[in-house]
A and B are shown apart, each in its own frame.
Chain A
Amino acid sequence: MSYAVLSVPDFALHALRRSDPELCGQAVALVAGEGRKARVAAASPEARGIVPGLAAALAMSRCPGIVFRRRDPAAEVEAHRLLLGAAFTLSPRVESTCGGCCTVDLRGADPARTEALMRLVAVELAGTGLPARIGAGATPLLASYAARCAEPVLVVRDPRDFLAPLPLAFADPAPAQAEILRGWGIATLGGLTALPKAEVGRRLGSEGVLLWERAAGETLRVLRLVEPARSFAAEWAYEPPVESIEPLFFKLRRFAERVALELRGAGFVAEKLSLTLLLEDETDHRREFRLPEPGADVEGWMRVLNAHLGTVRTEARVAGVRLVAAPARPPEKQDGLFDAGLRDPASFWENIARIAAIVGDDRVGTPALADTHRPDAFVLERPSEAVTPSVEAPVHPPCGPTLRRFRPPWPVRVVCDAGSPCRLEGGRLEGDVRAALGPWRSAGDWWKPQAWAVETWQVELAGGGVYQIACMDAGWCVEGILD
């Protein structure tokens, strides 16, 4: 097999259904034409007894409750991009043949692997609401015939046997040609190709030769290749604007499915997602999610997005949504001999993202001390993938009980005797000081507006408890407890 064709029957109908959650499981028909001339163009399987060409009024009487819709160009563009994204996972040489159909040049690919991949793609597309049929053959035409017969994947290995029983209509004869051939008693492609090509040409002219070649699946053509996606974004405008979160989830999942396929087709993964909710009052809500584990896993993305959207409250209704994935090359890593990596990296990063959605992005991570002596100065960094063993003993081994801070510090009034604290009053902490250590004075950033200076004491209260108190510009405060 050298070519494959991915085709979606009733493409416009499927594109519409996958874009609107209300149409799931409903009897739906696409109609064309206005008023009394409106006719059914396509109908979902739930619309029993409805066939294309039926008058809309008649369809309504046959199938009460049927939903009539017109074609939705935006939904078709979105669905076609999904199909193209799937095609690019098979080969980088893809033609966008027409709406709901694309042709892939598979020359040079491993046939066994490609066939397995095609089956996977068919399953994946069906899962996204786009039941594609995939045919493969020696020529683009043969592949398109195969796609029309596929359930859902068909690879043509013996063209003669495959073509012989197919009806003549597959070769798209002109009405006059069809009439003549019917008179000859020829109804299948095999019947036509059984005739000598030259004799057919002599009787039907050059058009007859072309028809014979189409019937034999021999017609070769140059594919008009398209480039893989270079921007990985999706956008949708809601009409009318939505108030609940379910339509957002639905649409974001559809976006994620398409963008993930496009990324995979282009050999990328996403390292960052950017979500924008366009609000009815012409403001917007933007949020960027850095994916600590770059990937193209739709479920992982959805967990991150759902965790965030579950906490979002907007002032106005949502009129549109935009999702942008920042591409990156897939990470390649090798475990070290002596460090311990993550048992389940995907779960680890997903859970970090879920927690960030609960407590805030800036409140989860691995603490690292900032390069300053300012009290309580630290930054939260991205947790490391591997835990490396500790090789060096600390220069200053830790001493005494460990400080636990009160954030914010508790204001307190300190009574001093001979320069040393002797009683704490007027705050959340009161009592006589049994013993005190200090002062430790430090200052910094004196050349900046944020200059600071602090005098720290450690005090033991008569009622029990060792506390760290500090005197700053704003007065005394209890920084924490030595615990």
Chain B
Amino acid sequence: MAPPSQTVSELRSLLAVRFPERARKPCGGVPAAVRPIDDALGGGLPAGRLTELVSAVPSGGGQTVVAALLAATLAARQRMALIDGADGFAPEAVPAGMLRHLVWVRCRAPEQAFAAADILVRDGNYAAVVLDLRGCAERALRRTPASAWYRLQRAAEGGSVAVLVQTTSPLVPAVPWRLVLDTPLSLADVDAPRDAVADRLAVRTERSHPQAIELAG
């Protein structure tokens, strides 16, 4: 009988041959320019995957992550989409020059946000797509069938876009990475440089699936 390690290795090889699309190596990542998040994810938001960022407390720093991602994608001359489920993005909160690569979708309902995400994730022109569901009615989000999330994950897997889903409570089933912001910022942070605020965010890793990368490798 073969040793277990050899069996697992053979099984991985077999899976990689039978399901090449599943074994596709994530093509790089998109640095979020938020050190705790990049550290937790091993370098940045993984391309071709969904990452869920749960803002478990008010002022957890989720919007600061969006602002940092805007700056990072612009520095890399990449395009970013923000699907704003509750229409909460404030353009005046980021420097004007940092908006020109952003496509902002102002949704009125979660259904619109899902429909837009389904389209944009398949579009090959974006490096990062942020699906911000904070502020959406919790009941409406809970009604979202799991199949919608799986569909989004499958769509992301086919491309090179990094998808960041922002929620206020864990929502995405079988998401490879789920990070939680569970320490609120305070008024003392208001005068600190935003980069410093971002680097101080308290990020807890609730779920990570390194084996997804391992399988690909």
State the A residues within 8 Å of B (CB): 339-340, 342-344, 347-348, 351-352, 354-355, 358-359, 363-369, 375-378, 380, 383-384, 387-390, 392, 394, 396-407, 434-437, 458-461, 464-467, 480-483
Give CA–CA (A437, B189) in the complex, Å. Answer: 12
What residues of B have a CB within 8 angstroms of the CB of A465 in the complex? 57-59, 184
Give CA–CA (A406, B95) in the complex, Å. Answer: 20
Using known A-B contacts A460-B187, A483-B55, determine if residue A358 contacts B115 with beta carbons closer than 8 Å.
yes
Q: What distance in Å separates the Cβ of B68 from its nearest Cβ neighbour in chain A?
A: 9
What residues of B have a CB within 8 angstroms of the CB of A344 in the complex? 123-125
State whether the Cβ of B88 lies closer than 8 Å to any Cβ in chain A.
Answer: yes
Among B155-179, those with CB < 8 Å from A are none
In the complex formed, the residue of A with least CB distance to B115 is A358
Q: Quick one: which of B57, B61, B97 contacts A401, CB cutoff 8 A?
A: B61
Give CA–CA (A312, B32) in the complex, Å. Answer: 40
Q: Quick one: which of A354, A402, A437 contacts B187, CB cutoff 8 A?
A: A437
Known: A404-B93, A465-B59, A483-B64. 20 other contacts (CB 8 A): A343-B125, A351-B123, A367-B102, A378-B92, A380-B104, A387-B74, A394-B96, A398-B194, A400-B191, A400-B194, A401-B64, A402-B64, A402-B93, A404-B88, A404-B135, A405-B87, A466-B59, A467-B58, A480-B88, A481-B63
Q: Quick one: which of B55, B103, B122 contacts A366, CB cutoff 8 A?
A: B103
State whether the Cβ of B154 lies closer than 8 Å to any Cβ in chain A.
Answer: no
State whether the Cβ of B116 lies closer than 8 Å to any Cβ in chain A.
Answer: yes
Among B75-124, those with CB < 8 Å from A are 75, 77-79, 86-108, 112, 115-116, 119-120, 122-124
Using known A-B contacts A364-B106, A366-B102, A405-B89, determine if residue A397 contacts B193 with beta carbons closer than 8 Å.
yes
Q: Quick one: which of B55, B96, B116 contacts A359, CB cutoff 8 A?
A: B116
11 CB contacts below 8 A, A to B, read A364-B104, A366-B100, A390-B97, A394-B98, A398-B194, A400-B194, A402-B63, A402-B94, A404-B90, A464-B58, A464-B59
Give CA–CA (A460, B157) in the complex, Å. Answer: 41
Q: Quick one: which of B60, B63, B95 contacts A403, CB cutoff 8 A?
A: B63
Q: What distance in Å separates the Cβ of A365 from its nearest Cβ neighbour in chain B?
A: 7
Give CA–CA (A380, B106) in the complex, Å. Answer: 10
State whether the Cβ of B216 lies closer than 8 Å to any Cβ in chain A.
Answer: no
In the complex formed, the residue of A with least CB distance to B79 is A387
Total contacting residues, chain B, CB less than 8 A: 61
Q: Is the CB of B88 within 8 A of A405?
A: yes
In the complex formed, the residue of B with least CB distance to A307 is B119
Q: What distance in Å separates the Cβ of A433 from its nearest Cβ neighbour in chain B?
A: 10
Give CA–CA (A480, B60) in the complex, Å. Answer: 14
Give CA–CA (A446, B101) in the complex, Å. Answer: 34
What residues of B have a CB within 8 angstroms of the CB of A394 in the complex? 95-98
Q: What distance in Å separates the Cβ of B210 from its nearest Cβ neighbour in chain A?
A: 29
Q: Is the CB of A355 within 8 A of B102?
A: no
Give CA–CA (A179, B154) in the complex, Å. Answer: 76
Q: What distance in Å separates the Cβ of B2 from its nearest Cβ neighbour in chain A?
A: 45
Q: What distance in Å separates the Cβ of A108 from its nearest Cβ neighbour in chain B?
A: 42
Q: What distance in Å separates the Cβ of B60 from its nearest Cβ neighbour in chain A?
A: 7
What residues of B have a CB within 8 angstroms of the CB of A467 in the complex? 58
Q: Is the CB of A435 within 8 A of B58?
A: no
Give CA–CA (A459, B190) in the complex, Å. Answer: 11
Q: What distance in Å separates the Cβ of A391 from its nearest Cβ neighbour in chain B?
A: 9
State whether the Cβ of B44 lies closer than 8 Å to any Cβ in chain A.
Answer: no
Q: Is the CB of A407 within 8 A of B62?
A: no
Give CA–CA (A400, B116) in the complex, Å. Answer: 30
What residues of A have a CB within 8 angstroms of the CB of B125 in the complex? 342-344, 347-348
State whether the Cβ of B67 lies closer than 8 Å to any Cβ in chain A.
Answer: yes
What residues of A have a CB within 8 angstroms of the CB of B94 in the complex? 398, 402
In the complex formed, the residue of A with least CB distance to B191 is A399
What residues of B have a CB within 8 angstroms of the CB of A352 in the complex? 103
State whether the Cβ of B141 lies closer than 8 Å to any Cβ in chain A.
Answer: no
Give CA–CA (A436, B156) in the complex, Å. Answer: 43
Q: Is the CB of A483 within 8 A of B60?
A: yes
What residues of B have a CB within 8 angstroms of the CB of A369 in the complex? 91-92, 96
Q: Mark B28-70, 1 if CB is under 8 A from A, else 0.
A: 0000000000000000000000000001011111111011000
In the complex formed, the residue of A with least CB distance to B96 is A369
Give CA–CA (A468, B65) in the complex, Å. Answer: 19
State whether the Cβ of B140 lies closer than 8 Å to any Cβ in chain A.
Answer: no
What residues of A have a CB within 8 angstroms of the CB of B192 in the complex? 399-400
State whether the Cβ of B202 lies closer than 8 Å to any Cβ in chain A.
Answer: no
Q: What distance in Å separates the Cβ of B188 from its nearest Cβ neighbour in chain A?
A: 8
State whether the Cβ of B16 lies closer than 8 Å to any Cβ in chain A.
Answer: no
Give CA–CA (A367, B89) in the complex, Å. Answer: 10
State whether the Cβ of B186 lies closer than 8 Å to any Cβ in chain A.
Answer: yes
Q: What distance in Å separates the Cβ of B1 from its nearest Cβ neighbour in chain A?
A: 50
Q: Is the CB of A358 within 8 A of B112?
A: yes
What residues of B have a CB within 8 angstroms of the CB of A397 in the complex? 95, 193-194
What residues of A have a CB within 8 angstroms of the CB of B105 in the complex? 355, 359, 363-364
Give CA–CA (A390, B74) in the complex, Å. Answer: 7
State whether the Cβ of B185 lies closer than 8 Å to any Cβ in chain A.
Answer: yes
Q: What distance in Å separates the Cβ of A75 from its nearest Cβ neighbour in chain B?
A: 36
Give CA–CA (A377, B89) in the complex, Å. Answer: 12
Give CA–CA (A364, B123) in the complex, Å. Answer: 15
Q: What distance in Å separates the Cβ of A317 from its nearest Cβ neighbour in chain B?
A: 28
State whether the Cβ of B215 lies closer than 8 Å to any Cβ in chain A.
Answer: no
State whether the Cβ of B212 lies closer than 8 Å to any Cβ in chain A.
Answer: no
Q: What distance in Å separates the Cβ of B77 from its nearest Cβ neighbour in chain A?
A: 4
Q: Is the CB of A383 within 8 A of B103?
A: yes
In the complex formed, the residue of A with least CB distance to B73 is A387
Which residue, A368, A376, A407, A436, has most C-beta atoms of chain B within 10 A? A407
In the complex formed, the residue of A with least CB distance to B116 is A355
Q: What distance in Å separates the Cβ of A412 from its nearest Cβ neighbour in chain B?
A: 15
Q: What distance in Å separates the Cβ of B191 from its nearest Cβ neighbour in chain A?
A: 6
Q: Is the CB of B100 within 8 A of A384?
A: yes
Give CA–CA (A445, B34) in the complex, Å. Answer: 39
Q: Is the CB of A400 within 8 A of B197?
A: yes
Q: Is the CB of A437 within 8 A of B190?
A: yes
Which residue, A348, A354, A387, A459, has most C-beta atoms of chain B within 10 A? A387
Give CA–CA (A110, B146) in the complex, Å. Answer: 59
In the complex formed, the residue of A with least CB distance to B102 is A366
Give CA–CA (A404, B177) in the complex, Å. Answer: 24
